[in-house]
């Protein structure tokens, strides 16, 4: 059997109550204005996480072509999505923060302030020495804007896409059996315990935590790897008296919040086998080829030790233009070979212009 291949983070799912309003916000302020797909198929396979039945939905994969991963903006069409019943705090189990690339942290900070975004911190320095600040989207999700040096395009935008996230866990060492041993985040950028100034303005941010920032020592390969680039996973564990809760307790997948992190992969069967042998069996598996708007591929989900949903997508086709019918068929290419830059840049034909 062939070995699994992880090409990078494809997207983080964001549950919203108005997909077009969210696309405009993410497209305007975070420059994620390219719609890779716009899918309104009924969600069926995720029924176990949606109250046991299919639901109508609409999902848009919004991407910033400067470099990094996208946002899958996901909205129920047949029910009102639920907001958290109580405040979500740092240390709660699940995806708490999405990490967004900045090429000029001072410029980004000034632009968000001038555009009346909800900036919830000043510029601070993380334990890895990088500058960052935090904002909230209109759905109360927290995003960290952090300086980085690797880019796919050197355009005018001061921000790129997602390059990771912060996940609350109950036991970092147990969680690393999935994130480090299987997903390849094996390089430690820092591992510290204490009270952290850069977290102090976040909900419960003055508590005591162990936090570990991970990246991958192996360079990612595959079709869109140049766009996705390198990424980071930060695991954070409360070590004081705070009793964490699951972010999606008594709520459905697709409700308001960060609903999953998704990896673009090749050789799904090999990955499923390795995950099962490592104690993380898939809980959901789509058909081998599944349509997502004009795009298609196969996908599946598993849970980390605290129930956070991890998605894997084996992409088959990505549309570039409807007229003429131009699409990328990744099944006809060497799975390790990156797509040429001009072909990825051609996704700009799918850029949305907002009023």
The CATH code of the domain that includes 266 is 3.10.180.10
Per-position b or e across 340-351, b if 16+ CB within 10 A of its CB: eeeebebbeebe
Please indicate, yes or no, if residue 191 is contained in any of the structural domains.
yes
- Residue 58 lies inside a defined structural domain of this protein: yes
Q: What is the Cα–Cα distance from 239 to 280, expressed in whole angstroms?
A: 25
| Count of the separate structural domains present in the chain | 1
Predicted local confidence at residue 322, as pLDDT: 65
What predicted TM-score, i.e. pTM, was given to this entire model? 0.95
Q: In the prediction, which pLDDT does 315 show?
A: 83
In a domain, 241, yes or no: yes
Q: Judge contact between 168 and 91, C-beta under 8 A.
A: yes
**Cα angle value 91/95/98 (rounded, 5°):** 110
Structural domain that includes position 19: 5-350
Strand ranges (DSSP E) for 178-231? 187-194, 209-215
pLDDT of residue 316: 80
Does 355 reside within a domain? no
| Rounded distance between C-alpha atoms, residue 171 and residue 208, angstroms | 14
Residues of the chain with pLDDT under 70: 1, 287-296, 321-326
Q: Which two tokens stand for residue 239?
A: 């070590």
If DSSP codes are grouped into helix, strand and coil, which group holds residue 41?
coil
- Residue 344: strand, helix, or coil: helix
133 exposure class (CB count in 10 Å sphere: 0-12, 13-18, 19+): buried
Q: Decide the pairing of beta strands 5-15 and 70-76.
A: parallel
Is residue 319, in this structure, part of any structural domain at all? yes
pLDDT value at residue 318: 76
Give the pairing type, strands 290-292 and 187-194: unpaired
């Amino acid at each position: 059997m062939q070995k699994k291949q992880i090409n990078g983070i494809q997207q983080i799912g964001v549950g919203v109550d108005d997909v077009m309003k969210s696309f405009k916000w993410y497209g305007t302020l975070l420059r994620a204005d390219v719609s890779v797909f716009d899918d309104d198929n009924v969600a069926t396979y995720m029924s176990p996480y949606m109250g046991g039945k299919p639901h109508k939905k609409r999902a848009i994969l919004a991407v910033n072509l400067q470099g990094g991963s996208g946002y899958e903006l996901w909205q129920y069409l047949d029910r009102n999505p639920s907001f958290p019943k109580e405040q979500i705090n740092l240390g709660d189990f699940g995806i708490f923060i999405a990490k967004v690339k900045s090429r000029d942290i001072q410029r980004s900070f000034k632009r968000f302030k001038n555009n009346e975004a909800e900036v919830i911190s000043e510029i601070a320095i993380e334990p890895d020495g990088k500058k960052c600040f935090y904002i909230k989207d209109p759905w109360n999700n927290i995003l960290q804007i952090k300086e980085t040096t690797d880019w796919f395009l050197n355009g005018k935008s001061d921000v790129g896409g997602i390059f990771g996230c912060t996940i609350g866990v109950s036991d970092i060492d147990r969680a690393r059996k999935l994130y480090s041993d299987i997903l390849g985040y094996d390089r430690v950028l820092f591992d510290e315990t204490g009270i952290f100034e850069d977290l102090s303005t976040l909900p419960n941010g003055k508590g005591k935590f162990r936090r570990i920032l991970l990246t991958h020592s192996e360079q990612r390969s595959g079709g869109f790897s140049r766009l996705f680039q390198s990424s980071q996973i930060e695991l954070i564990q409360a070590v004081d008296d705070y009793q964490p809760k699951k972010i999606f307790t008594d709520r459905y997948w697709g409700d308001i919040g960060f609903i999953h992190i998704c990896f673009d992969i090749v050789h799904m069967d090999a990955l499923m086998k390795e995950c099962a042998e490592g104690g993380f069996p898939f809980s959901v598996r789509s058909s081998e080829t599944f349509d997502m708007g004009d795009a298609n591929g196969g996908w599946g989900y598993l849970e980390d030790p605290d129930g956070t949903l991890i998605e894997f997508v084996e992409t088959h086709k990505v549309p570039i233009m409807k007229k003429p019918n131009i699409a990328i068929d990744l099944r006809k290419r060497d799975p390790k070979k990156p797509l040429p830059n001009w072909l990825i840049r051609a996704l700009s034909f799918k850029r949305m212009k907002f009023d």
